[in-house]
Structure 1
Amino acid sequence: MSSPATFTPPPGARAYSLRTARGEFAVVDAPVADGVVPRGVALLVPGFTGSKEDFNPLHVPLAERGYRTVAVDGRGQYESDGPAEDESAYAQQELARDVLAQVAALGEPVHLLGHSLGGQIARAAALLDHTPFRSLTLMASGPAHIAPSQQERVKLLRDALAVMTMAEVWEAMRAMDAPEEAAAVELGDGLDNREDLRRRWLGTKPAQLISTGRQLCAEPDRVAELAAVPLPFHVLSGALDDTWPLPLLDEMAARLRARRTVVEGAEHSPNTDRPAETARALADFWDETAED
């Protein structure tokens, strides 16, 4: 589970519901910094158990580089509504169409970034229709299903959700935290965000977690399909990743002829582990796509 340092949007950002042809989606929308020439818009799609707040550390450094950033809760994630029990509502193609609707509502082409599960949803959106996108960044998101060890964790969660409430599962997960993990969740850059994380968990629909967890464990390799899409690609990750090992990400980048960035000192969430370095790598890539 990703752990944002804070759930408070950065200065200048707005939290609101983005109205689209497929419903409303909660977003954090951060404008370009004052006095900076606008260079584009980026849509940021979070991962499994995540939310728009995972991208809070990126908004300010990207605004200073000229990029408006819009981070979104997907259908059934945290503050975006969705059915609690209808798993079909969270099929990958449905979530991909949501992304296309979000871009349409923003009214201009965007640089698309997906983290982990969000990367596979973003990939599916680009395969449906690449024309609304200026580029695609896959952040800590691999070519196919997640590693076996992570599949076991997802299966445990799905089994628990079948017989327990979201509140009961939350308490069970906290009881299983290692001491250092519990401290990280509780402190989060000096902030006690345990209650924020709990609120996010309880706001997420169980059907969304069950359906997307199943997708993560069964996702096929669609890299060859994606390589045929005429977009600039960027594969970005931390220096360690137990969800998709780095050799898999390196190989995927080569197959996509993508820019490859490894953020030293970061693991599965470079956006929160090393936000300044991650934002710099993203903006450098987006700047280069504008020059091509």
Structure 2
Amino acid sequence: MGRPDHPGTAAPSDGTADDTADDGLDGAVAREATGVPAGPPDATPALPVGRGRAQRHPHGARRVTVPSSLGPLAALRAEPDAAAAIEGRPATALLLPGYSGSKEDFAPLIDAVAAGGIGVLALDLPGQYESPGPAAESEYQPDRLGPVIAGIVADEVAAGRRVLLLGHSFGGLVARAAVLAGAAVRGLTLMDSGPGELPMGQRRTNLDVLEPILRRRGIEDVIALRDASGEWSSKDPQVVALLRERLRRSTVTGLLGMGDALRAEPDRTAELVAAVRARRVPCLIVCGIDDDAWPVSMQRTMADRLEAEFAAVPHAAHAPNVENPTALLDVLVPTWRTWLRDDLLG
């Protein structure tokens, strides 16, 4: 597998403030893109992106429930545009959100990915938002959640679909664990996710500060702190309402367990290298060019180790899916379509 780079210079964001799909409960301000220009057949299809919509961005996916070994998971499913599909078995992009996130974090991507001939299945991870989760904090470690996702991949494959797995931030650690657990994916994308634990920095500090508040006083005090900080004051009221609701409905046990995992996950890149080489699974590492979680240089080094493609999305930090979906789509859709064509070539 070669490692060509994407230049990461697609259409910039318009600077509209919005909320990121955050992994440190710090609500970093994001910017929404305005649209995707027309392009050649393998370019991202035209996408009318509304201003400041983020997780409330309109899409054509339907709400579904996906069975898993830990119980039903809430999801959004969109069918691919058959006219744009690559020859062969249909494909589904299975999308995993980050810590404190949800399936709605992928709302700005859904219609464009489906228009590119690839179906979408965006999940709440166990314990997130509308999905129940286990009672023990230890069950939220990536190596415990990975086999759960591997089971969902197996169900998709059994239904005749090729699976392109994407994990954002904490979801990237889970996606990696799913591949290490044997998930039969056609490609792996790690977005704004690192080789191991979250490095020292503001996001890790936020986890350290908020952990005792969450454990002793509960989620309402965390929400009150965010309200008092004013970090939500400039955002669309409908987006703020969703962010409050999903924090309130996510399990405290899950937030604590995932938070612990983000501060303790070992570097498993060597294991992943062996797995993807043995099974010839292509990989993409993509991140916002200003990612403030795992340094971009660290993610670039991880891509080198994996012999993976690498792309840095302009005008984006830790959540290009809501900060600059236009530029992110210009990386994802052509890359995924290439992987599906290569699959036909053997």
TM-score by length of 2: 0.77
Matched residue, 2:9: none
Contact 2:57 2:108 in 1 (8 A): no
Question: Is this contact kept in 1: 2:55–2:108, CA < 8 A?
Answer: no
Structure-2 residue corresponding to 1:252? 302
* 2:229 equivalent among 176, 189, 207: 176
Q: Distance in 1 between matches of 2:141 and 2:226?
A: 26
Residues 196-235 of structure 1: per-residue CA shift (max 9 Å, x gap): 1111001100111111111111111111111112311100
Question: Paired residue for 1:46?
Answer: 97
Aligned match of 1:78 in 110, 129, 150?
Answer: 129
Shift of 1:32: 1.3
Q: 1:23 to 1:109 in 2, by over 3 A?
A: farther
State the alpha-carbon separation in 2 of the partners of residues 160 and 134 from structure 1: 41
Name structure 2 gaps, 5 residues minimum. 1-19, 23-51
- The Cα shift of 1:8 comes to 5.0
Aligned with residue 64 of structure 1, among 95, 115, 125: 115
* Contact kept in structure 2, 1:19 and 1:105, CA below 8 Å: no
Deviation of 1:252 (Å): 0.7
Does structure 1 retain, via aligned residues, the 8 Å contact 2:146–2:174?
Answer: yes
Within-5 A mapping of 1:27-46: 27-33=75-81, 35-37=83-85, 40-46=91-97
Alignment of 1:176-255 (within 5 A): 176-177=229-230, 181-184=231-234, 186-187=235-236, 192-230=238-276, 231-255=281-305
Q: Counterparts of 2:136 and 2:69 in 1: how far apart (Å)?
A: 20
Structure 2 residue 188 is matched with structure 1 residue 142? no
Residue number in structure 1 paired with 2:68: 20
Mapped partners of 1:275, 1:6: distance in 2 = 9
> Once the two structures are superposed, what CA deviation does each residue of 1:59-94 show, in whole Å capped at 9, x if it has no partner?
1111111110110001000000124x5212323222
Task: Using the TM superposition, name which of 5-14 and 26-35 deviates more.
Answer: 5-14
1:2 aligned to 2:4?
no
Tell me if the contact between 2:102 and 2:128 (Cα under 8 Å) persists in the aligned partners: yes
Q: Assess if the C-alpha contact under 8 Å between 1:18 and 1:27 holds in 2.
A: yes
Report the alpha carbon displacement of residue 103 of structure 1 after superposing the two structures with TM: 1.7
Describe the shift of the 1:41–1:256 C-alpha distance in structure 2 as closer, same or farther (beyond 3 A): same
Match of 2:181 among 104, 128, 146: 128
Aligned: 1:95 with 2:145:
yes
Deviations 1:85-130 (A, max 9, x none): 5212323222112111222333333100000000001001101104
Q: Whose helix proportion is higher, 1 or 2?
A: 1
**Deviations for 1:1-57, whole angstroms, at most 9, x for unmatched residues?**
627935557443101211234421000001113643355111000001100000000
8 Å CA contact 1:145, 1:219 repeated in 2: yes
CA apart distance, 1:245: 0.8
Decide whether the 8 Å contact of 2:56 with 2:238 is kept in 1: no
* Counterpart-to-counterpart distance in 2, 1:72 and 1:212: 16
Taking only aligned residues, the RMSD between alpha carbons, in angstroms, comes to 1.9
- Whole-angstrom distance in 1 between the partners of 2:133 and 2:99: 15
Confirm or deny that 1:105 pairs with 2:155: yes
Match of 2:219 in 1: 166
Shift of 1:160: 0.9
Distance 1:123 1:91 in 2: 12
Q: Is the 8 A contact 2:169 2:193 kept in 1?
A: yes
Higher relative contact order by CA 8 Å / sep ≥ 6: 1 or 2? 2
What fraction of aligned residue pairs are identical, expressed as a percent?
35
Q: Which runs of 5+ in 1 are unaligned?
A: none
Give aligned pairs, total.
283
TM-superposed deviation, 1:288: 1.7
Structure-2 residue corresponding to 1:115? 168
Tell me, what secondary structure is at the counterpart of 2:316? Answer: coil
CA distance in 2, matches of 1:110, 1:34: 16
Residue matched to 2:313: 263
Work out the CA distance in 1 between the residues paired with 2:297 and 2:102: 27
Contact 1:20 1:105 in 2 (8 A): no
| Structure 1 residues 219 and 20: CA distance shift in structure 2, 3 A | closer
Code of the residue aligned with 1:60 in structure 2: it is D
- Say if 2:163 and 2:186, in contact at 8 Å, map to a contact too: yes
